[in-house]
A and B are shown apart, each in its own frame.
Chain A
Amino acid sequence: MSSHSLTLPSASPAAARKRRLLEILGALAIAGTYIYLVLNQPTDITGGPGSASALIALSGFLAGAVLLIVAVLPTLPTSTVVLIPVALVLNIVLGQFVGSTLVPFYLDAIGTVLVAVLAGPAAGAATGALSSIVWSFFNPTVLPFAAGAALIGCLAGLAARYGLFRRFYLAPVAGFATGIIGGVVSAPVAAFVFGGTSGVATGAIVSAFRSMGDSLLAAITKQALISDPMDKALVFTAVAVLVYALPRRATVQFPFVRRHRVLAGRNPEQGA
């Protein structure tokens, strides 16, 4: 169904090399920004608002996310590209519902993780980054979290690739681990760009750590380590429920699901 067209020219190896380079540059931009922020934070955090760190966090993470999108989006098959807007809407609809309640969770990654499980880590990363960029049309405060969202999509895809969605009890474990990494990476954004968190419930947790004398980044990282792993464990469980509830015909249309036997059950014959 989504096989390559017979009449249109296929991509050249040079273009593939360029995309790989962009992917690596994007990942380096995100990693470099994070390392710089963590190393330089003690001198800067009370240096007044609008400190240089906010700008570095914004530009570094955003540039990395954009590079990842530019590298990955043209390589995805049509069946995946068409699923991305659906995933974005699921993120927004379910995330906005939870974001407005007094729960220290976000649940704003269900669509991203769904695409990652069905179409792989690269598609997951692109969906995460795109989700933040498109969502910022309604809520510009999610824009700086693009890199963290891309990371979560990528990790969810890797979890699916290595069979963690084949056993139902492994999905929350994978979500928990993803949440730890994602939370640690997103904490500098919350600390430097926002000077806090965007929700009242998460803000209360940060306040508790601040009252014990923690620096802002330490307090927000600890809050992220409380909220994010639980949040992502819930998201991964929800996605596992959703993916297994889908008809098998719908899931095996994705080459990633077939090739890596992402879901438990009989492996359908190739090309059947």
Chain B
Amino acid sequence: MRLHPLTTLAAAGSTAVITTAAAYLPLSLAVITAAVGLSARGGTSRRLLPAAAAILVPLALSLLVLHGLFFPEGDTVLAQWGPARVTAEGLSFALNRAAQLCAAVLALLVFSFSVSVPDLVAALSAKGVHGRFAFVLASTLSLLPAITFRLERIRQAQEARGLVIRRGLLHRAAAFRLQAVPLVSALVEDAATRAAALEARGFGGTGPRTSYRDVPERPWEPPFRMLLLLAAAAAVAVRLLLAGD
């Protein structure tokens, strides 16, 4: 049996918070290793690793350039070219921060790549989260591939009519307009139709709802979630107390 989606969410969230609060390089590296291992075991690493790399590589490069070359607060100068000074403090700041962000991002991505969205939505509604939030979440995740496909179709249609994207800002803006206007008008039109249909089915009403999807959870999961949240809160509290001294 799979874990309850809220348990995995609590685990990912508290891992991200605790790693940020601890700010301890070995812990960050351990979390990174564990996250990669978990996704490999779950069979999601093929999709997860490229997505994570697309976010983390520019971020890490940006941090390395920023703090590696320019860290006015650093004292131990390792190399210097003109205004750029490579300092040991800057490099260690960049490394620590990059590891910590990688750990938090990977922990959260492992959750979002492994969770079943219908289960998550059903679990959220069962816990009293407003049905509209669940609707927005589920609707966005299912619209995303549909709209990406639609944009692709519009681009093909415009290219068939002679659209060539040339260099230069004006050409790009014109190309953007030719693709965005049909896309947005169609989407707003669709949304209006959908709103009427949903309204007719009592979407706007308040009151109890019946869910036909039952998400089972083991008896130990609710106390375990509570424990995870308490651990995250404790980590934050300890960090704030240490900072206050």
Chain A interface residues toward B at CB < 8 A: 1-2, 4-5, 8-9, 11, 44, 46-52, 54-56, 58-59, 69-70, 73-74, 76-79, 81-86, 88-90, 92-94, 100, 114, 118, 130, 134, 136-141, 143, 194-200, 202-204, 206-207, 210-214, 238, 241-242, 245-247, 250, 253
Contacts and interface: CB of A to CB of B under 8 A. Distances in A.
Interface of B: 16-17, 20-24, 51, 54-55, 58-59, 61-63, 65-67, 69-73, 83-84, 89, 93-94, 96-97, 100-101, 104-105, 108-109, 112, 130, 132-133, 135-137, 139-141, 143-144, 147-148, 151, 176-177, 180-181, 184-185, 187-192, 194-196, 198-199, 202-207, 236, 239-240, 242-244
Given A78-B204, A85-B139, A52 B185 contact: no
Q: SS class of chain B's interface: helix, strand, loop or mixed?
A: helix
A49 B93 contact: yes
B180 A86 contact: no
Given A83-B191, A114-B184, A198-B58, A207 B69 contact: yes
25 contacts: A5-B204, A46-B73, A48-B93, A49-B93, A50-B100, A51-B23, A52-B239, A54-B20, A73-B136, A79-B191, A81-B132, A82-B191, A86-B143, A86-B188, A88-B136, A130-B136, A134-B140, A141-B105, A194-B97, A198-B59, A210-B72, A213-B72, A245-B181, A250-B188, A250-B192
Contacts of B58: 198-200
A95 B181 CA distance: 17
Contacts of B69: 207, 211
Given A1-B199, A55-B21, A245-B181, A196 B132 contact: no
A84 B136 contact: yes
Contacts of A89: 140, 143-144, 147
A48 B96 contact: yes
Given A55-B236, A58-B20, A79-B192, A85 B136 contact: yes
Contacts of A84: 136
B54 A245 contact: no
Contacts of A88: 136, 140
From A79, A134, A195, A207, name the one whose CB has the most chain B CB atoms within 10 angstroms: A195
A186 to B, nearest CB: 16
Given A44-B243, A50-B100, A134-B140, 19 more contacts: A1-B195, A46-B89, A48-B23, A48-B96, A52-B240, A56-B240, A78-B203, A81-B135, A85-B143, A93-B151, A134-B136, A136-B112, A194-B59, A195-B97, A203-B65, A242-B181, A245-B181, A246-B184, A250-B189
Contacts of A207: 65-66, 69-70
Contacts of A203: 61-63, 65-66
From A86, A138, A141, A242, name the one whose CB has the most chain B CB atoms within 10 angstroms: A86
B61 A140 contact: no
Contact of B184 (A90, A137, A213): A90
